[in-house]
Amino acid sequence: MSSFINRLREQASLLKKRIAFPDATDPRALRAVMILQDLGICSPVLVGTRTDIENIALEQGLSIEQIPIEDPSTSSSFEDYVIKFAERRVSKGITLEQARTQLQNPLYYAGMMAESNIVDGCVAGSLSTTGDVLRAAIQTVGIEKGISVVSSFFLMVFAEKILCYTDCGVVPEPNEDQLADIALSAAKNFQKITGEEPRVAFLSFSTAGSAEHPAVLKVRKAAQIFHSKAPLIISDGELQADAALVPEIAIRKAPNSVVGGSANVLVFPDLNAGNISYKLTERLAGAQALGPIIQGLNRPYCDLSRGCSVDDIVTIVALCSIMA
């Protein structure tokens, strides 16, 4: 385990956030929750049908008596959440009966717990698909004010540094406004998690006008929108990756760049570029990829890979706690 991940877990343990687990019938989630409880990384809450969760725990030989279970079918808060959810979805014409049906789903019930400040965040996805997790998150906790799109980021952990890659998992072809908001969410989260000052580079195949193309213009406009929204955050674009990361090359290609070859938040122009880049970095450069971590929501609602390990869940919960 890297020193960075150890630091994340230690930082989260100081915060003692309450985190909901709607995929609570997954044995991996139950094992992770026991570790989280034992290490004091968070205060976990299991969400789902109590008998199902307890039966899985019994089958796996896990003792979960000290971990609270929130069962939508017996919860005294259920009707309050139904009314709140129906009010949130009134523009979609949802009825109270439809809201009741929806909130029997632990993904939605956990989201309403977060929306009501009963928990600080949610972690799901070991059983549920990314699409299901995102729909539940958007419909319950909602999109952050001033942000136009829900997106994701990866933390790429190297021996000597940490980089943030965004967006590598959610938005296929962001427009310039969305790209600026993706960058803004990532910069804020990077600083919150690492404590480092973000230095944001909007990446392209062009550096400072070295090429002209509609794809370049989109990145350039996104960088301008970002700067107008967050003038105090160091940022530049459009930049080629080497000009963003290597000071000696930045001097030649972009001598006036405020990023100056020392970017730590890399904003990719589309999902093709972002997804390919994080996987190449992980496989060829040996970086550890933490994510994708969902961003742009009012409350953190983190999505796991369905192939995740118990250790992966523990680490993502630590990140979720720090973001909350």
- What tens digit of pLDDT does each residue of 268-300 get? 999 999 999 999 999 999 999 998 899 999 999
Burial class (CB in 10 A: 0-12, 13-18, 19+), 66: exposed
- Taking residues 182-210, report their average pLDDT: 95
- Taking residues 71-94, report their average pLDDT: 90
Q: Domain 3-142+297-323, what fold?
A: Rossmann fold (3.40.50)
Query: Nearest Cα to 31, choosing from 13, 18, 44?
Result: 44
pTM across the whole model: 0.91
pLDDT category at 105 given cuts 50, 70, 90 is very high
pLDDT category at 1 given cuts 50, 70, 90 is low
pLDDT for 31 beyond 70:
yes
Whole-number pLDDT of residue 93: 82
Domain boundaries, the chain: 3-142+297-323, 151-288
Instruction: Compute the CA torsion angle 228, 229, 234, 236 (nearest 10 deg).
Output: -50
Task: Give tens-digit pLDDT for 300-315.
Answer: 999 998 888 999 999 9
CB burial of 157-196 (b: ≥16 within 10 Å; e: otherwise) equals beeeebbbbbbbbbbeebebebbbbbbbbbbbbbbebbee
Whole-number pLDDT of residue 211: 86
CATH of 151-288, one of 1.20.1630.10, 1.20.140.90, 3.40.50.10750, 3.40.50.150: 3.40.50.10750
Token pair 């136009």 is at which residue? Answer: 148
pLDDT category at 94 given cuts 50, 70, 90 is confident
pLDDT category at 88 given cuts 50, 70, 90 is confident
Whole-number pLDDT of residue 210: 86
Take residue 204 and report the two structure tokens written for it.
């392209």
Task: Give tens-digit pLDDT for 157-167.
Answer: 998 899 999 99
- Taking residues 91-109, report their average pLDDT: 91
Which own/partner contact pairs does 186-190 have at CB distance under 8 Å and 24+ positions apart? 186/151, 186/153, 186/265, 186/267, 186/295, 187/230, 187/233, 187/235, 187/265, 189/153, 189/164, 189/293, 189/295, 189/323, 190/153, 190/155, 190/164, 190/264, 190/265
Task: Give tens-digit pLDDT for 116-157.
Answer: 999 999 999 999 998 999 999 999 999 999 999 999 999 999
Strand segments, DSSP code E, in 53-198 are: 69-70, 121-124, 151-157, 162-166
pLDDT for 45 beyond 90:
yes
- Answer yes or no: same fold for 3-142+297-323 and 151-288: yes
d(Cα 144, Cα 249) in Å, to the nearest integer? 37
pLDDT category at 183 given cuts 50, 70, 90 is very high
Q: What is the mean pLDDT of the chain?
A: 94
Whole-number pLDDT of residue 144: 94
